[in-house]
Structures are given as C-alpha cells and as structure tokens.
Amino acid sequence: MNSVGEACTDLKREYDQCFNRWFAEKFLKGDRSGDPCTETFRKYQRCVQKAIKEKDIPIDGVEFMGPNKDKPES
C-alpha cells in the first residue's frame, strides 16, 4: 500500500520492513528491548504530516499514533 504522500512511499516501505523484521525476529521471541525503527517512523511521520498539510486534508479529531503521539506542526 502506498502512502498518503507519494514522496513518503519509500519511507513507509522502509519503516514497514524494519518493523516487520523487528516484530518477527525480536518481539515474538520475547525480546522487547527497544525499538530500532523509531527514527525511521519519525521520518515517515513527518513526511506524512507534510503531505496532509499540502493536500489540505482535514484532520480535526484524529488521534495520532507513534512514540510521542505528535500532532502535525501547523
């Protein structure tokens, strides 16, 4: 699945691969120490937030996911 912003699709794939690898190789085997994908997620999140702003997509009332649950910058 592509990202909301065409420029974000590669970052989404990079994050998805990182998360799936961590989940399968670490988390499911009981290793819950850290998340090596946090920085990749943040880069992707910033890209999506920028795309949402550029496309004027209304986000009022939407809950945000992620390490810090940051809302898009205005």
Reading the block at residue 46, the tokens are 């910033």
Q: How many domains does the chain have?
A: 1
- Domain of residue 30, residue span: 4-53
Task: Say how far apart CA 59 and CA 49 lie, in whole Å.
Answer: 10
In a domain, 12, yes or no: yes
In a domain, 61, yes or no: no
In a domain, 22, yes or no: yes
In a domain, 47, yes or no: yes
How much is the pTM? 0.71
Say if residues 11 and 43 touch (Cβ distance below 8 Å).
yes
In a domain, 60, yes or no: no
Average pLDDT rounded to a whole number, residues 48-66: 78
Give the pLDDT confidence of 1-37 residue by residue, as tens digits. 778 778 899 999 999 999 999 999 999 999 988 889 9
Average pLDDT rounded to a whole number, residues 48-74: 70
In a domain, 34, yes or no: yes
Reading the block at residue 54, the tokens are 């550029």
